[in-house]
Structure 1
Amino acid sequence: MRGATVYYLKILLAICTVHEMAGGLIRNTTDAAYKKYLSLRSLPFEDCGSLYRVNYLDIESCSTLPCSMKRNAIIKVTVLFDDNGNGVTFLKHEVRWVFNYIKTQAAISPDPCDGDHDCIMSASDGKTYWANIFVNETLPVMRGSMLWESKDECNQNLICFEVPVLITV
């Protein structure tokens, strides 16, 4: 037992030495591993041309696809993304329901997401924002998708993802 403890202590010392010599390489590797872990825990989505990498997507009460969304419900959507250190502080959302190639505008709140609403925050692993989407009572009861685009003040598309949904009553 004692030999194993000494062995593990030597490994720990080697790791610490490598960390010092590598000037933060381990920290960067740890950050990358954490982001990979987040992406594995994320709700699956299709990226449709994001400028920034989406590391994690959470849609309230949705754990499998298609996301079941009840008419007349308000559902919180949370996104963790990497803004590459650009200090994103404003996001204007364009969200549409897509059914058989017909797109219908969705109601989002708050929109825009800016400093007045506390909906976009810096995190140690990037930026996070949240918004609530209203599932309109006139949407058809059927499968489709939710197409979510978040743009900056200049209307540049920063984040874009699409998620399969099932509208229910």
Structure 2
Amino acid sequence: MLKLVVVFAIYCVATSFAVTLTRYTDCGSKADIHSIVLEPCNSEPCIIHQLQNYTTHIRFTPKVTHQNANNFATGIIAGVPTPFAVSPKNACGNGLTCPIQAGLQQTYTATVQCPITTPLRIAAKWEVKDENNEDIICFVFPTTIVKH
């Protein structure tokens, strides 16, 4: 029994790695992004498995107050932006408390499933837009999609 518990504990630790992204590009955020943590991921560029769930923790400070916030995800494949469905679309009440107050540091946590079923290298773009369709948060990071 002890052997089974030890094996399970090692499995949990081995499959729950997270990395703080350093190789990302801010693409017009109206907030100061302090850190972006992606899990499970153990190095950059992240190896993302098809149809697996990934959680992002974004620590940021908005420069202005925003009433609403919506999620957008895009894969940039060979320079062509391809939008992906995000659920839930509304970030308010799903990781963020709205209105989002200017100057108040927050951590936004969102979980999405990798929608791509073909192995390839892409640039992943994540945006959280406000009621005026302006980016509160916007960043692009390299990733490689692999079979599960």
- TM-score, structure 1 length as denominator? 0.65
How many pairs are equivalent? 124
Instruction: Write out per-residue CA displacement over residues 92-114 of structure 1, whole angstroms, 9 at most, x where no aligned residue.
Output: 11110111112222232322111
Distance 1:157 1:137 in 2: 24
- Between the two proteins, what is the percent identity of the paired residues? 25
Partners of 1:98 and 1:79 in 2: how far apart?
Answer: 21
1:101-132 deviation per Cα after TM superposition (whole angstroms, max 9, x unaligned): 122222323221113x3x1158xx70111212
Q: Does 1:107 align with 2:70?
A: no
1:120 aligns with 2:99: no
Taking CA–CA contacts closer than 8 Å with sequence separation of 6 or more, which of the two structures ends up with the larger relative contact order? Answer: 2
Please point out which of 112, 132, 138 is paired with 2:111: 132
Is the 8 Å Cα contact of residues 61 and 106 (structure 2) preserved in structure 1? yes
Higher helix share: 1
Counterparts of residues 61-76 of structure 1 (less than 5 Å): 61-76=40-55
Query: Which structure has greater strand proportion?
Result: 2
Q: State the one-letter code of the partner of 1:168.
A: V
- Cα–Cα, structure 1 residues 107 and 77, in superposed 2: closer, same or farther, change >3 Å? farther
Q: CA deviation at 1:70?
A: 0.4
Q: 1:89 to 1:57 in 2, by over 3 A?
A: farther
Q: Is the 8 A contact 1:69 1:168 kept in 2?
A: yes
Q: Which moved more, 1:50-59 or 1:89-98?
A: 89-98
Q: 2:62 aligns with which of 67, 79, 83?
A: 83
Considering only aligned residues, what root-mean-square deviation do their CA atoms show, in Å?
2.2
Are residue 60 (structure 1) and residue 39 (structure 2) matched? yes
